[in-house]
Amino acid sequence: MSAKKQSTARPFDEIWTELEERHGWKIRVDEFPADPAISRYPFVFSDPDNRRAIAFREQNKLDELLEGAEDDWEALLRLRHWTFVNMVNHTSAALPLREPFSALDPFALVAASRSGGTFWCSFFSMVLVAACSSTGFVCRKLSIDSEHTADEKGNHHGVVDVWVSKFRKWVHLDPNYDHHCEKDGVPLNLEEICQVWLKQKGEGMQSVIGPERRTMPRARGGRKGAPEACGYFWHLIECRNDVFRRDGDGSLGQAVLLVDEARKHRRWTQGTPPNTFEKRGYANGSLMVTEDYADAYPDVNAVKISLQPPHKMPYYCRAQFKTPFSPFFDHYEVRVNGGAPERVDGMEYPWRIWPGTCSLEVRVVDVAGRRGQPYRIAVTVEEDASVSPRWPWPKEDAQPV
């Protein structure tokens, strides 16, 4: 979530008031980060220091692949293209589920493809999740489908979405076609694409293909006569994305299904008429249906900042940090007044306040060394001649009995 400009009410007003009364100041809060979006559901990932993740990264020389990338977005486009090049698509040649490849072993998938094996979209997605996870990106596997009735054939497809710090949002990536979708130059996630279909019938959305980012009218087939955005009406997000596990469960765990007014009274069907059937998750309870956007799209590496009373440190605001969803968390990085970054391994930082413009910027750094988006507080402090400073503070002046 982006930072919000403060209007009248001040967050943590009691803290600013105490500082004002102590010092005879007037404090204006210019910027304070909004609370992060938090999901009620658990998402699981393989972190990049998992021994199998390290082996996958080294075996496929992914660090070399990403060397010199301008930012995390360029790095992700390289990983998507690498997956597209190293996997070969052919639906009829893919192995059925519950066979060895349903164990989600990315090593076996890549090796088999390089030896002439062919696979469908879901396997492309598994390999991209592995490539992203091994290099420190938070990536999830999804299934999508077009808007259709139970009497129509759907267009079921496997894709991923990944958290992109540059955009501070989740973004859809399709390794099977080496593409993503944009509107007005901004990459979209699955729900945003669905809303382009529902509200604008796909108008204004473009498919962007390859690392060179070529724009095309559409990247893949779908419902006849409908824009590509129609194919994103349904989407479910798998909760378990620890792709380097070896328990053989495949994509049989829980998944989140986000719905709105257009979808909540409908049921997602698969198959070809007359043999269509409802999505398996409805019957076995593995499909967690929600209307809360945050359940499906929580903020990653967000920092929730809270302020504590200064107590015996009269010129300091004690800032405490929490990050509700940071799968690969290592430490915080703090900048005061735009200065040099400082590593903080704890959860609290003494932020000194004095007349002038004061700012505190906090971000997460993960175990792969990737830096999350900054969360910033900025205040303007002025001397207030109409207020007499109160020092020492009454609470500190009290003597123990």
Q: What is the fold, at CATH topology level, of the domain defined by 3-38+299-397?
A: Immunoglobulin-like (2.60.40)
**Amino acid (1-letter code) at residue 296:** A
Instruction: Give the DSSP letter of residue 119.
Output: B
Who contacts 392 (Cβ-Cβ below 8 Å, separation ≥6)?
none
Task: Indicate the burial class of 316 (C-beta count within 10 angstroms; 0-12, 13-18, 19 or more).
Answer: middle
- The b-or-e profile of 321-344 (16+ CB within 10 A means b, else e) is bebbbbbbebebbbbeeeeeeeeb
User: What is the pLDDT, as a whole number, of residue 90?
Assistant: 73
Strands 277-278 and 255-258 turn out to be unpaired
Phi then psi for residue 77, to 5 deg, are: -65, -35
Are 65 and 137 a contacting pair, CB within 8 Å? Answer: no
User: What is the pLDDT, as a whole number, of residue 400?
Assistant: 44
pTM of the complete model = 0.90
User: What is the pLDDT, as a whole number, of residue 224?
Assistant: 76
User: What is the pLDDT, as a whole number, of residue 396?
Assistant: 52
User: What is the pLDDT, as a whole number, of residue 393?
Assistant: 66
Polymer length in residues for the chain: 401
Are 89 and 124 a contacting pair, CB within 8 Å? Answer: yes
* Pair of tokens at residue 384: 């207030």
Question: What is the architecture of the domain spanning 44-296?
Answer: Alpha-Beta Complex (3.90)
Question: Coil, strand or helix: which one is 134?
Answer: helix
User: What is the pLDDT, as a whole number, of residue 394?
Assistant: 64
Domain extent listing, the chain: 3-38+299-397, 44-296
- Tens of pLDDT along the chain (401 residues)? 444 444 458 999 999 999 998 899 999 999 999 999 999 999 999 999 999 999 999 999 999 999 999 999 999 999 999 999 999 887 654 444 444 444 568 998 898 888 888 788 988 999 999 999 999 999 999 999 999 999 998 898 999 999 999 999 999 999 999 999 999 999 999 999 999 999 999 999 999 999 999 998 888 877 777 889 999 999 999 999 999 876 655 556 899 999 999 999 999 999 889 989 999 899 999 999 999 999 999 999 999 999 998 877 678 889 999 999 999 999 999 999 999 999 999 999 999 999 999 999 999 999 999 999 999 999 999 999 888 888 766 655 544 44
